[in-house]
Amino acid sequence: MRQDRIDFVHNSERALADPTLHSSVRRAMVRFRELQRPVIGEIEEWQALREYAHRVKLHTLSHLDQYLEQLERQIVAAGGQVHWVRDGAQAGRVIADLARSRDDRTVVKSKSMTSEEIELNQVLEAAGCEVVETDLGEYLLQLAGDRPAHIIAPAVHKSKDAIAKLLAEKLGVPVYDDAERLTRVARDALRRKFLAAGVGITGVNFAVAETGTIVVVENEGNARLTTSLPRVHIALMGIEKVIPRLADLGVFLTLLPRAATGQRMSSYVSLLTGPRRAGERDGPEEFHLVIMDNGRTAIQADPVMRESLACIRCGACLDVCPVFERTVGHAYGSVYSGPIGAVITPLYQGLDVAGELPFASSLCGACGEICPVKIDLPRLLLELRARVVQAGGASWAERLFVRGWVATMARSGRLRLVAPIVRLLHRAVARTGIPLPYPFSRWTQFRELPPPARSSFRERWPFAAVGRRR
């Protein structure tokens, strides 16, 4: 499925053209950061936990076959089933077959980025299932025919008024104006679906190899309903979600909610080990874990990029990114947006399609600083830039500029020769106000040029008069 090149310059400019979108998103982001700061600050060992989590993930990613096999053994011992799939298409087929085998074809889903990645809903619908997204934000987007804009807060780009009108239109209810009433409308509508559904599909936050346990973290309760009521529970995960030991959750569940939503703990964390046991009244009769590759083994095999698979999908990097804040929506051309999206989308879709994304960053480093598993996102962005240039992806203008720059700077003698000429041109431009050609025009579109200097520092050196001690 070849994709068109993601033109982030164009997409970002289009996003910026909607100032109300930016201001409402900025409000949300500022609020996230305000919640995050104290709950992270109160954990004295936060930096040590990040380092620990990073090392656990790197170790696991470097021994992934071993841990996946252990996970499989444990799940089977607990009465569950494990399916391995190489790509999204195969995952869709396997899951559709499982769903289709039930008489009741209503499928309830709780939030799963991985399922968005493979466009699972479309596959299930084509197989004759009714698929209902049950996370409130995802449900609203489904009603609107829209796609999620943020890993954690998928409908962050929708205003309350837009939501009220949407629910009124689709569910035939009055237009309410408060969030509580709107939530209750959605809850009642979805309750009926939960009670009727034959199949529940979730993602996986963590899969513990030691015990064959999958972990689902949420606030709303819809994942618990999805894994308690339907007779079949299908959990879909990428190969990278496994962690070695149950006790490692002590660290990961300390990091995840604080980084993701500024909570000490999410409302619900479900540790699920196989289907229901004999005599239980609820819980699934069948538990299926679908383990998916879909490009991950290639990233795992890349020693530099491997750490990007440590991502626990908390969304914190999105929340601190000034670029994401201004382009939230679908500017990244991928289900994965923000800094992590700018790293993995080129890896999944290729540099020719997504090679612009790693450049769409001022490298402020806020993402790398917040990442709870210490993925060095700024460094990975830089590595990808080098790969894009090596593959011939730089424009002729850039090549000319950079090579010219480096050639001039390679010898101070050359710099002494070239600099006065450039200064002359600079003075001419400053005096006459000639509009500059591209790319310099992109500077002056938003700000003034710096004024030319009278002479350079090196021309003035040595200056004995300066700094005489009093």
Q: Is 131 helix (H, G, I), strand (E, B) or coil?
A: strand
32, amino acid identity: F
- The verdict on 424 binding other proteins (CB under 8 A) reads no
Is 23 one of the binding residues for other proteins (CB under 8 A)? no
- Selected from 225, 312, 328, 354, the binder of other proteins by CB under 8 A is 225
DSSP helix/strand/coil, 22: helix
Beta carbons within 8 Å of 353's beta carbon, 6+ residues apart: 2, 3, 4, 5, 6, 346
User: Can you tell me whether residue 65 is helix, strand or coil?
Assistant: helix
308 φ/ψ angles, rounded to the nearest 5 degrees: -65, -20
Question: Which of 371, 45, 60 minimizes the C-alpha distance to 245?
Answer: 60
List the x/- string, 42-81, binding to other proteins by CB under 8 A. -xxx--xx--x--xx-xxxxxxxxx-xx--------x---
What residues from 281 to 340 belong to the interface with other proteins (CB under 8 A)?
Answer: 281-283, 291, 293, 297, 300-301, 303, 322-323, 326-327
**96-104, 122-130, 261-269, 337-345 -> range binding other proteins (CB under 8 A):** 261-269
Contact between 271 and other proteins by CB under 8 A: the answer reads yes
If DSSP codes are grouped into helix, strand and coil, which group holds residue 84?
strand
Q: Is 2 in the site for other proteins (CB under 8 A)?
A: no
Please answer whether residues 172 and 37 qualify as being in contact, where contact means their C-beta atoms are separated by less than 8 angstroms.
no
Judged by CB under 8 A, does residue 371 bind other proteins?
Answer: no
- Residue 133 touching other proteins (CB under 8 A): no
Contacts of residue 15, defined as CB under 8 A and 6 or more positions apart, other chains included, come to 21, 22, 326, 327, 328, 329, 331
How many Å separate Cα 279 from the centre of its chain? 41
Listed residue (153, 139, 119) closest to 35, CA to CA: 153
Q: How far apart are the first and last CA of the chain?
A: 73
Contact between 176 and other proteins per CB under 8 A: no
Q: Segment near other proteins (CB under 8 A), from 98-106, 117-125, 177-185, 334-342?
A: 177-185
Residue 446 near other proteins by CB under 8 A: yes
Query: Of 128 and 195, which has the nearer Cβ to other proteins?
Result: 195
Rule CB under 8 A: say whether 11 interacts with other proteins: no
Task: Tell me the C-alpha distance between 314 and 364, whole Å.
Answer: 20
160 binding other proteins? (CB under 8 A): yes
For residue 1, state whether it binds other proteins (rule: CB under 8 A).
no
Residues in contact with 463: Cβ distance below 8 Å, sequence separation at least 6, in sequence order: none
DSSP letter (8 states) at residue 395: -
Contact region with other proteins (CB under 8 A), list: 115-123, 308-316, 339-347, 355-363: 355-363
CB of 356 closer than 8 Å to CB of 76:
no
Question: Looking at 239, 309, 328, 343, which residue binds other proteins (CB under 8 A)?
Answer: 239
Q: How far apart are CA 209 and CA 389, in angstroms?
A: 40
The only residue of 369, 427, 429, 430 in contact with other proteins, by rule CB under 8 A: 369
326 and 28 Cβ atoms separated by less than 8 Å: no
Considering only the stretches 98-106, 118-126, 129-137, 340-348, report the one whose residues sit in contact with other proteins under the rule CB under 8 A. 129-137
Residues 379-418 touching other proteins, rule: CB under 8 A, are: 379, 382, 385-390, 394, 398, 402-403, 405-406, 408-412, 415
Kindly state whether residue 7 participates in binding other proteins, applying the rule CB under 8 A: no
> Closest CB to other proteins among 69 and 169?
69
| CA pair distance 123, 346, nearest whole angstrom | 24
Q: Which is nearer to other proteins, 115 or 254 (CB)?
A: 254
The stretch among 124-132, 249-257, 310-318, 335-343 that binds other proteins (CB under 8 A) is: 249-257
Nearer to other proteins, 128 or 455 (CB): 455
Q: Residue 147: which of 385, 156, 392, 94 has the closest Cα?
A: 156
**Among the candidate windows 97-105, 116-124, 309-317, 353-361, which touches other proteins by CB under 8 A?**
353-361
Residue from 116, 117, 135, 286 touching other proteins (CB under 8 A): that is 135
